[in-house]
Structure 1
Amino acid sequence: MSGVWRIVAAREIAVKLRDRNFVISTVVTIVVIVASLAVSGFLSSRPDKVEVAVAGPETMMVLDTANSLAATADTDLTFEGRAVADRGTVEQQVRDEVVEVGLVPAEPDGWQLIGKSAENDEATTYISAAAQQIALQRNAAAAGVSLEELARGAAVDYELLEKGAVDPGLSKIVAFVFAFLFYLASVLFGMSIAQSVVEEKQNRIVEILASAMPLRQLLIGKVVGNAVLAFVQLALFVGAGLIGLAVIDKGAQLGQIAGAAGWFIVFFLVGFLALASLWAVAGSLATRSEDLQSTATPLSMLIMVVLFAGIFLTGTGRVIASYIPITSIVAMPSRLAEGTAAWWEPFVALALMGVVTYGIVIVAEKIYRRSLMQTQGRLTMRQALALEE
């Protein structure tokens, strides 16, 4: 009878794969992941054009220089000039939002940017730098020196202390995705286990199953079957995300994100064994489907805590959470994605998770066996533990 759990696990997998809603939702989620990344990549790759109304001599030369500076900075930013007759026309076009910004000569010897209600940071940065460069070139020529000689000693280099780290904005998105996927899989597969248990109990099917196999084998089969499904679904989602990142030219950061995603799947698989056991307990404590709202509330709250911790915790809070079992499912991979965790830290956190998971499964198995055959009413965990086997 020791291998009966395999039959139960296979049945759990088969039932889920025949569920059209499950299959369709999985496919739709993969499509949404790929499509959202594709749209993000398309929008980020589109040239950012700033239309500028210009009046007066040499204003177009300033825009040409600004475009050169933007290209040197490896941006997709371009300034498109619209020549008009005078300053009044420039101001009118800015007021009517025909253009985003205006550029006119300013007395005694300079330039003035014109905006409607707020400054355009890109215009301020590049057009101002262009005007300064042109002025320096002229002043250098007037002084009989080259621009390079005039700028000697002004070079500034940028050294990164953590080379290869993921962009902070991208790492926040990755952390959010990890937290959301954890919540989605935990609730979807966990509630499926709980509902399956309570339906079998409510319909008295469990009495037939109990006469054919040990209840321990029934629990193992349900947990393993849903864990396999959760693993495959998460792997598909993560794979779709990584392919999308490669398509939108995030290859330089793909390796680190892929490593963090791999750890996330491993952490989730180990943690889900504990969560799945607790979901089975929530079902066994209930006697009808309506009772699940009460028996599953503590577990639902735990999952919500992990979700919000994964999204909002930063700094020391995230470091601590990355070692706390269950919250480490999200927190440790998020730290790996942002490059703030040492190579040995996930091994320690995973070991802690394994120990706690083992303890939870042992206790959950006892509660499950003692409460599953009780049909008089809803039980608490304390009441279930007090029952005789």
Structure 2
Amino acid sequence: MQTNLSTEAKTLARADEAESILRSCVHCGFCNATCPTYQLLGNELDGPRGRIYLIKQVLEGEPVSETTQLHLDRCLSCRNCETTCPSGVKYHTLLDIGRAEVERRVARPAKERLLRDGLRQLIPRASLFATALKAGRALKPLMPEALRQKIPGPQVKAKARPAVRHARRMLLVEGCVQPSLSPNTNAAAARVLDRLGISVTAVAQAGCCGATDYHLGAHETGLNRARRNIDAWWPAITAGAEAIVVPASGCGAYIEEYGDMLKHDQVYAQRARHVSSLARDLVEVLSAEPLETLTRQVGHGPSRIAFHCPCTLQHAQKLGGAVEAVLRRLGFDLTAVADAHLCCGSAGTYSITQPELARRLRDNKLAALEVGGPDAIVTANIGCQTHLNSAGRKQVQHWIELVEEGLDQSA
């Protein structure tokens, strides 16, 4: 694609990167065929190719309006288009650059600013989120139906975690909202890994991965959270931690990009690359281990499973099919899921900022998951899990909990 960046755009820190991405697009339109919002709305500007043109116009100095912002806001950042693209266009990187520039040039209405700022203040702070969730559950009967759906009921309490006892050590990313929304997930991960001879520890000084801030336009705040985590994890890494295990694929996809996002930071670039190289989704760790040593209790728990593969797992981390393979190795029967490549509508904070589109995508996804009559539905990301459960249909849980529940405790 021919480009002619404006004088102002050329001064942006990532101008050369944006221009290179724009020029790699060949206008083929294959991306629209797998774009969830284009499938729903049928508008060229609500597909990747149209959004690329919009960002091109922004960077070439054309007028920018609230309409431009709306079409960029409607993107789920699912990266399905990147999986489809024959030219290797780094669409998500261009989108981040374009959104930041539009955010700078177009003032949002006060209601939108308050919502987005509120999400940035609440979600990354685990203790504040836990308090707000507790209050929301108490007041849930008094809330409108649309808001009640967003507040999940109390979850199964976390089982005890095993003591650190193995020579093999890994770090565990706790996440911001997962400890409150699904408290047993990380405990289940720790217990299964312990059975495989791996001890995991959390680092208290680490916190939010930074994705919420970054994807809501607060790039520097998101990068500062990355820097803080690198500092927090570094002593354990230098002491020999094998990997940084991430049970939530949304966090994992972002942590794996620390090295790229901080590549121009003279202080953090090298360490950021190393941290990214150590980041492993939970399924990557289990896939490499002798799963035959994990004995399942015969006849215990559901055996016919539908798996929802989050976009961050299949399109960002390129791990589509990995969880299904692990579950099959453990003796589970996987049902077929139509259009498994399409997003469920969660997409971080998207289900809150774009509730109508998110609801339609959620209902489509649940229909596809339920058609095979599974005994249970599982996923690999807390955002997807919570969003799918907001429909009040078959309960969705993290796949590692299903695995842990079925293990023979006497083995």
TM-score range, shorter chain: under 0.3
TM-score (norm 2): 0.22
Higher Cα radius of gyration: 1
The answer to which structure, 1 or 2, has the higher relative contact order (CA under 8 A, 6+ apart) is 1
TM-score (norm 1): 0.23
Identify the structure with the greater helix proportion.
1
